[in-house]
Structure 1
Amino acid sequence: MKASRPVAIGIAALGLILLIAGPLIPGGERLVRNTPPNSGHITDLGRADDGSILAGTQEGELWRYAKDRWAPVNVDLGGHPVTALSADLSGDASKGPIGTSGGLYNAPDGMPELPAPVRDEILASDRLLVATGKGLYVQGDGQWLEALEGTSLYRLETQQLGDELWLHIGTVGEGVYSARAADPLNWQPNREGLPAGLNVFSFVMTDGGRLIAGSDKGLFWQQAPMQPWQRLKVGLENSRMLSLYLEPAKPNQAERLWIGSDDGLWRLEINAADSAPEAKSFAELIQAPPGHVQYGVSWILPFGDGVMLSAGSVYQFGPMGLKGWYWISLAGLVLLLVGGWLTPSRNDADTPKTA
């Protein structure tokens, strides 16, 4: 039985509205997977100068996320797992320095190949520094200069204090080493106040210029280079802090610290305006859907009004549409089909009614 044309059109129009509105209805913050299609295990995440996101994989692939879509980057890394993407990669990701388990690809002009497995890399004072499991390589005049030979290095960080730039290295088993960027071969132990044998996996800088280090025994902060470290209690003192990101403070709000651990993604607010950073509460675990975030959170980047992170796959967390929005869109689709089915055909409309 057909309905009148206005009624049928009204039903179809309501269905179209619901179909479109479903994913647009606000529904709070959620964590969702947003990973390159048909990619393998994500091993590294970085940001290019043009603002795009770069993701490296266990299979030696490189992907770029821009304009809401992932696309493969045409670069041959010999199938080696990607281990380090410089924060200063150019917009052309195929030409920037890329660290892999097989060495450094796209070394700076005039520099020889570096076959050592790379763990991290950073550009400081126009020099590329490359951290490996057996020491540090510093870009020199046509050659690699070595420092901290035999030391297992994990993470590199810079710290600007006035007119002076400092460099910091997190190590496996030896805490932190630090050096002035003007003298990148002269590294000194910077571990007063740190537990013995500490593994340091991550760093972050507060708005006030203080350094926070993430380790396998919680968080520690330092007022200035070479000064004693102090513990920053957040309730995760027995967790590995694999990655850190400090969201800049918003008006009338504290800074928000994001922590990536073996257990997932955490967040808390800290008061870093005073001389001693202090957590305003214990860290809160971001709940993930079943089957998500099965690996440690190794990288965290700002993304829109939230963050993007790597944990085997790539995920994003932030304001999303209403949870279950697809049911609204599905109902809209059903109404759209029903409205179309109820719409009388032209022949039906032209057929005269008989008594």
Structure 2
Amino acid sequence: MRVVAAMSGGVDSAVAASRMIEAGHEVVGVHLALSRSAATLREGARGCCTIEDAGDARRVADRLGIPFYVWDLASRFERDVVEDFVAEYAAGRTPNPCLRCNERIKFAGLLDKAVALGFDAVATGHYARVVEGPSGRELHRAVDHAKDQSYVLGVLDAEQLSRAFFPLGDSTKPQVRAEAAERGFAVAKKPDSHDICFIPDGDTRGWLDRRLGQREGALVDATTGAVVGTHTGAHGFTVGQRRGLGLDRSSMDGDPRYVVEVDAPANRVVIGTADLLGVDVVEGEHLRWCGPPPVGSVRVGAQVRAHGEEVPATAQVGEGDALRVVLDRRVRGVAPGQSVVLYEGTRVIGSATIRATSRA
């Protein structure tokens, strides 16, 4: 096969590209330029889209002896990921930009361009497995559950999976680093990127303030309805948040308070005690199926965070673009805008964006 290896400049994508070559594929390395004003150097371990990263990817490609290109998808990334991120927070929701990037950039923009140029598939350094099943290719959890990234790939559909390779799914991170060192890759000890790549300093609230501006609003107690403080913008809060509320707990009862609701239209943030955070019903929209969609009421495992615990649940697909998931136990801090990914064993069934939560 002719395969595009997405090369971020990190150790995982480097080893993924080398394994695709060893498997006998014709491989071309591609680095995605996603920033309109990419920094020259990485800031600590944050981000993955700097000029330094592009240089690291090019050096790996040179060592592998494969062609290497930089594809500029910055405008599409700004529109489909960054602007979506801002709009979701402005609406009082908590998005996951990594899922949107996988759905709209790496497995839409990148894959679409690769196919248009005559390539058969795309390979990435994600920790997940593609398994041939009775109805076609299936997405499964990685062997290394500590590094498993199937959650952020739950937005892929069957057609995208048919053209996707994840060569690291059967390996652990130490094995990948050791292999990179054996191959002489300079990135063998390079720190992993983390957090949100387009917010390199990690200050999400400050970044959103610069985009959306500040506007004073009320902090309201969920039980009494009393105003207990003020804030500078509801966009700076997410359900389950404890820190940065600006409260004097000694003037209340001393117990920790958490965000339990973000009312963006009213610029109001509702806070309460931990017992108010638990929910066991999740309503979803924007359904994405990794294979045949489930029919009727089915037992599943449900995961609502990238590194969260899978919870046994019952899922019911409604008419149109609607999903209702009833969890076997309550989960705290589930926010609208996040994604719920459904599993059957290690197989990913699909995903949905959380529209609302409640208690059964």
TM (norm. structure 2) is 0.24
Whose strand proportion is higher, 1 or 2?
A: 1
Higher relative contact order (CA 8 A, sep 6+): 1
Greater Rg by CA: 1
More helix by share: 2
